[in-house]
Chain A
Amino acid sequence: MKSIAGKWSAYMAGTALAFLFMLALYLFDTCIGMSDAYIMISEYCKDTLSKRAINEFPPFVWYTGFLLGILIGAMIASFAGGDWKFRLVPEDIKEKGVFGSLGLAIVQGIAGGFLVMLGLQISGDSFEGHWCAAMQLSTGAWIFIVAFVVWSVIFMGIYNMVSAGGGGKAPSAKGEKPAKGKGKDKD
């Protein structure tokens, strides 16, 4: 129980993830990833919207089961560790008023999610798929990971510069020292 409630170091988590990905290769004989589940749910949403009626349940196959498993596992771990918090807006978004913060959270979430999935689809695999393929020395996966690591740091630098120049209000993104009791949340 202590292992589910306490914080894991990067080395412990990395070892666990390596064993888990190899276990997946053995059990499923494929690299496990989220893309197929997302595509299935997206197709289901598209069909439901075009028919304007919910006639059947979403597909429940092993891809979507995997997605459900992550949700359940995250709930168990967060409840066990006392990390479960109902939050509509991330801690680092501090726009004026609830609707300002909520609006920015919505825009950032949708725009960011859109770009993340677009990038993953262009690269040809899910993030876990690339992660697992890098363990098999896939050239494409290594190129993707190197590009991701390098560009994420560059883009964050640009984002910080733009938000600092424009009077940005995201203290955790600007490198400011957060006020006592604020900005230390895990969100």
Chain B
Amino acid sequence: MEPLALTGNYRLAAAIVFGMMLGIIFIRSEIAWRKTFIDQFSMRNSQLFKTLFFSIGIGIMLFYLLKVTGLVRFHIAPTYFWGAVLGGMICAAGAVFCGQMPSTAVSAIGAGRIYALWVFVGMMMALPFVQLISSGLLESMKKWPRPMNYAESLDKFFTGGNIFIWFAIGSIIMSLFFGFISPEKGGRNKKDDQE
């Protein structure tokens, strides 16, 4: 069996439906709201990190099963150690200011939060800037020394046992950990939010 790999108009139609489903999940799980990000970073509500790590845990197991059957293939964008470290750091600094990610900003605009449009504008302005620095900083970053045993995928680090299962369990434990250190208030529901 092979991935379906849709093309043409089928791909476009599937992308629109897929985007709609993602938009619905972001709104219903409250990931689209700026407050969810701000509260998460202040460790007052762990909805974001719980969702992130739980989805990774389930996703690892699903990916492993689908890969065995041949329905999906590895698709990992080439990343560099220092790029990932610095990128994560800068991205975190930006998220603290605006409380949005590219996709959640679009969801927030769809839900009437017009202020997310400024986040969208900021993101648009960053892209020409990245082109400007790409020949200098980004190229030199690729040459910075990285850990000796750095490999593209984590399964190459470990031998023995199924590393997919261990990482899936570890991610779900992380999800439970974030739920434990900043539990949601028991009575918090939709009505409370709107009061």
Interface residues of A (CB under 8 A from B): 3-4, 6-32, 34-35, 38-39, 41-42, 45-46, 60-63, 65-78, 81-92, 105-106, 108-129, 131-156, 159-160, 172-173, 175, 181, 184-187
Q: Are B84 and A69 in contact (CB under 8 A)?
A: no
Q: Are A91 and B47 in contact (CB under 8 A)?
A: no
Smallest distance from the beta carbon of B60 to chain A beta carbons, Å? 5
Q: Are A113 and B83 in contact (CB under 8 A)?
A: no
For B109, list chain A residues within 8 Å (CB). Answer: 71, 74
Q: Are B84 and A140 in contact (CB under 8 A)?
A: yes
For A35, list chain B residues within 8 Å (CB). Answer: 102
Question: A25 vs B96: C-alpha distance in the bound complex, in angstroms?
Answer: 30
In the complex with contacts A17-B51, A26-B66, A123-B79, A113-B19 CB distance below 8 A:
no
CB-contacts of B8-57 with A (<8 A): 11-36, 38-44, 46-47, 49-57
Which of A14, A25, A143, A173 is B63 in contact with, Cβ under 8 Å? A25
Q: Are A151 and B88 in contact (CB under 8 A)?
A: yes
Q: Are B118 and A135 in contact (CB under 8 A)?
A: no
Q: Are B71 and A120 in contact (CB under 8 A)?
A: no
For A17, list chain B residues within 8 Å (CB). Answer: 22, 25, 51, 55, 59
Q: Are A136 and B105 in contact (CB under 8 A)?
A: no
Interface residues of B (CB under 8 A from A): 3-6, 11-36, 38-44, 46-47, 49-60, 62-63, 66, 71-81, 83-103, 105-130, 138, 141, 150-155, 157, 163-164, 167, 175, 179, 189-190, 192-195
Which of B18, B151, B175, B179 is A32 in contact with, Cβ under 8 Å? B18
Main secondary structure of the interface of B (DSSP, over half): helix
Q: Are A73 and B163 in contact (CB under 8 A)?
A: no
For B190, list chain A residues within 8 Å (CB). Answer: 6-7, 81
Question: A151 vs B92: C-alpha distance in the bound complex, in angstroms?
Answer: 6
Shortest Cβ-Cβ A-B pairs, 3 listed = A69-B19, A140-B79, A112-B98
Main secondary structure of the interface of A (DSSP, over half): helix
Could you write out 12 A-B pairs with CB less than 8 Å apart?
Answer: A4-B24, A16-B25, A29-B3, A78-B110, A88-B115, A109-B115, A112-B100, A116-B94, A117-B126, A119-B94, A146-B88, A186-B194
In the complex with contacts A120-B91, A123-B83, A111-B130 CB distance below 8 A:
no
In the complex with contacts A72-B19, A126-B102, A117-B127 CB distance below 8 A:
yes
Question: A139 vs B88: C-alpha distance in the bound complex, in angstroms?
Answer: 13
For B59, list chain A residues within 8 Å (CB). Answer: 17-18, 21-22, 132, 134-135
Q: Are A122 and B141 in contact (CB under 8 A)?
A: yes
Q: Are B42 and A173 in contact (CB under 8 A)?
A: yes
Q: Are A141 and B79 in contact (CB under 8 A)?
A: yes
Q: Are B88 and A144 in contact (CB under 8 A)?
A: yes
Which of A39, A75, A116, A134 is B98 in contact with, Cβ under 8 Å? A116
Counting chain A CB atoms within 10 Å of each CB, which of B110, B114, B192 scores highest? B110
Question: A138 vs B80: C-alpha distance in the bound complex, in angstroms?
Answer: 11
